[in-house]
Structure 1
Amino acid sequence: MPGCRHHRQRPMILVFIRHKNPAKLLALPLYAVHLIRRLDRAALVALAFIAMLVALLTQTAIHVLAPNTRVLIGKVIVVDPGHGGIDPGAHDREGTTEKEIVLDIARRLFGLLGKAKGIPIQTRHGDWSLDELYPHESTRHRQDLAARVHIANRINADAMVCIHVNKSPHASARGPVTFYNQASQDSRRLASCIQRRLSELQPRGAGGIVKGDFYILRNSKVPTVIAEVGFISNPEEKKLLLTPSYRQDIAEAILAGLADFFEGQGVSPAITN
């Protein structure tokens, strides 16, 4: 209507706990516009830690974790499922969207990190974008990206993992690829750790680690990677990406890669570009 401004749902940063009933989420909303810019790392960590204590009592069983996850205790990890809201990311003509796939993987990784006594901070827990949280950039897309980076930088996270799905005009393209910031040795090392673990799921088509000139990588002040976990354009891989058990495998592979990183591993595998 003329003179009326459409009110969109305010995006939130949520610390959530997976309950036995997936439809019931115990959530602690942190309205980023009002809080993220004011709360320091200690305050956010304290809030997340309280949620994790409850999670230990209420969360359903998760696959057996790698034995080295002790190194994740107390580590603040930003889990960033890409896209959301009006931005579906990669998609096919049958209604499958990247934003839905990566959100589910991120939720699984969030739960695994909590079980490992890490402190995960997830950038979105629903189908929304974050552009309203950081209006200083010129376009909606850049505002969304800036908000995600701001969260990681503001709390001085120990690492940030952005989860995405790839797409190619060539249906034969397949396998995970992990992008890193070439100006950050820690970003490169984190990429090598996560890529090695993801490659164990797809040894035939796995790519390498790739230098990425992306907004999030350029502007993040913490070790950050963009993990493209598979190709939605590859029929066989798309079928896997739509399988809950495979999404769980991806989440566990990223968790293991994070543990490897904090153990000091990262042997710099072959670089694709």
Structure 2
Amino acid sequence: MLDRPIIVFIRKSWVLGATVALIILFLGTGSFKLTSAFSSGLKDKVIVIDPGHGGADPGAQNSGIKEKDLNLDISLRVGKVLESKGCIVILTREVDKDFFLPGFVKGRMAKRVELNSRINIAKENNADLFISVHANSFPKPNSYGMETYYHLKSSNGKALAETIHEQLSLVQPDNKRKAKAGDYYIINQTEVPAVIVEVGFISNPRERKLLLSEDYRNLVANAIGTGVEHYFEVFPMGVRENSPTVTQDIPPSASEKAYKLYFSNDNLEKLVPEDRQIDQSIWPKLDLAQKASLVMSELIQGPQSSNLIPTIAPKTKLLSITTENGLATIDFSRDIRDDFPGGALVESMTIRSIIWSLTQIPGINGVRILVNGEFGDSIGGHILLDRTFTAQLGV
């Protein structure tokens, strides 16, 4: 699937070969192995593998690489690994296709229909697990590392994400990212244990080179397959569904002297507040909508510190903000969606930065986000803007 891009964009250097060889050597001598004999615990388990994006939706793009192609390639490899272990594997797509309705690629209902089509495949086939494969991207190239996400109220999803991530960590020992809860539509709505696996950042030169290596993609696929195998070994009957405890950061209210804008740190690990001084000659005279508009305008302009990264596409325009009964409704231009760099983590950061920056203003308790006047669109295809967001919500 990626053979052609590999030839076009990279020739395997001895450095890349040595890196992959070291990974293989490490795995061969470590306490865990990424390959195993046929496991009766996996026999006839129905696993749905979802290569994220596809067709008209390329996902993240960087250096000529389209996320949709990488997702499909690795998903096909994961499928072969799981079939060799006795699973019944169903892929939501085996070619470059999407599930959009004809003529509805973008807009209010487009992504909901597309994602529901994937979810329905798991439902119709009585799947035991659902694994959605994605890749990340970020404007700053130093961010790297594989991630796994689970629904914040699913104990089984959490267990699956952790067993998969444990194996992925053997492939990438220097990765400090962890399995964590994510508020993403496809894992929220899937009725079986579901995870999103982000296989790395195509925006990071070192990780991009690895992902363009067939040997490395095989290692990633084997790691995911072995993680699934370990999940059924440790939890053959599943996990009792008690909502996992999720620690949520809640931003403080604005002080009398300053309010905070939230931007990403330079490795896309967390949101960091940046204080902006309040002009006492202006702020008290503004109504709630005007205060919200001022905060959002400065958030779009980006951070003052060179150590922080903007969370909103720079060409984005603020079309309007209204406030009523504690709810702020903010309307952005299409640029926030069309110029989005890609990746579930970046999308979560973008939405949280908007929510946290607005809900610190006394009198604003919830936020609705519109794109060019439409409610229910999506910025990056992972989170639907079809609800009211609050600071307590684990986006």
Same fold judged by TM-score > 0.5?
yes
Distance in 2 between residues matched to 1:249 and 1:220, nearest whole Å: 27
Letter in 2 for 1:168: F
Letter in 2 for 1:77: I
1:65 is the counterpart of 2:35: yes
Change (3 A) 1:68 1:259: farther
Distance in 2 between residues matched to 1:79 and 1:168, nearest whole Å: 25
Superposition RMSD in Å: 2.7
Distance in 2 between residues matched to 1:185 and 1:237, nearest whole Å: 30
Note the C-alpha offset of 1:122. 0.3
> Partner of 1:158 in structure 2?
128
Letter in 1 for 2:128: D
Change (3 A) 1:90 1:69: farther
1:246 is the counterpart of 2:216: yes
Does the 8 Å contact 1:84/1:99 carry over to 2?
yes
Change (3 A) 1:181 1:235: same
More off after superposition, 66-75 vs 252-261: 66-75
1:167-212 CA deviation, whole Å, 9 max, x = no partner?
Answer: 1223111111101001110001000011111111111124101211
> Partner of 1:84 in structure 2?
54
1:21-36 matches, cutoff 5 A: none
Secondary structure of the residue aligned to 1:179 is: strand
Change (3 A) 1:206 1:124: farther
Note the C-alpha offset of 1:68. 6.6
1:149 is the counterpart of 2:115: no
Secondary structure of the residue aligned to 2:164 is: helix
Note the C-alpha offset of 1:248. 0.6
Secondary structure of the residue aligned to 2:175 is: coil
Does the 8 Å contact 1:79/1:106 carry over to 2?
yes
1:215-258 CA deviation, whole Å, 9 max, x = no partner?
Answer: 11111100000000111111000000111111111110000000
Letter in 2 for 1:146: N
> Partner of 1:47 in structure 2?
none
1:32-81 CA deviation, whole Å, 9 max, x = no partner?
Answer: xxxxxxxxxxxxxxxxxxxxxxxxxxxxxxx9832473321110000100
> Partner of 1:108 in structure 2?
77
> Partner of 1:128 in structure 2?
97
Does the 8 Å contact 2:100/2:113 carry over to 1?
yes
Secondary structure of the residue aligned to 1:207 is: coil
Gaps of 5+ in 1: 1-21, 23-62
Count of residue pairs the alignment pairs up: 208
Does the 8 Å contact 1:173/1:205 carry over to 2?
no
Instruction: Find the structure with the greater CA-based Rg.
Output: 2
Does the 8 Å contact 1:177/1:206 carry over to 2?
no
Does the 8 Å contact 1:76/1:121 carry over to 2?
yes
Secondary structure of the residue aligned to 2:65 is: coil
Does the 8 Å contact 1:179/1:209 carry over to 2?
yes
> Partner of 1:169 in structure 2?
139
> Partner of 2:172 in structure 1?
202
Does the 8 Å contact 2:34/2:226 carry over to 1?
no
Change (3 A) 1:69 1:235: farther
Among candidates 162, 167, 179, match of residue 192 of structure 1: 162
Runs of 4+ in 1 over 6 A off after TM superposition: 270-273
> Partner of 1:75 in structure 2?
45
1:229 is the counterpart of 2:199: yes
Distance in 1 between residues matched to 2:90 and 2:61, nearest whole Å: 26
Distance in 2 between residues matched to 1:68 and 1:256, nearest whole Å: 11
Change (3 A) 1:120 1:206: farther
Distance in 1 between residues matched to 2:108 and 2:89, nearest whole Å: 29
> Partner of 2:86 in structure 1?
117
Distance in 2 between residues matched to 1:200 and 1:70, nearest whole Å: 24
Distance in 1 between residues matched to 2:210 and 2:109, nearest whole Å: 34
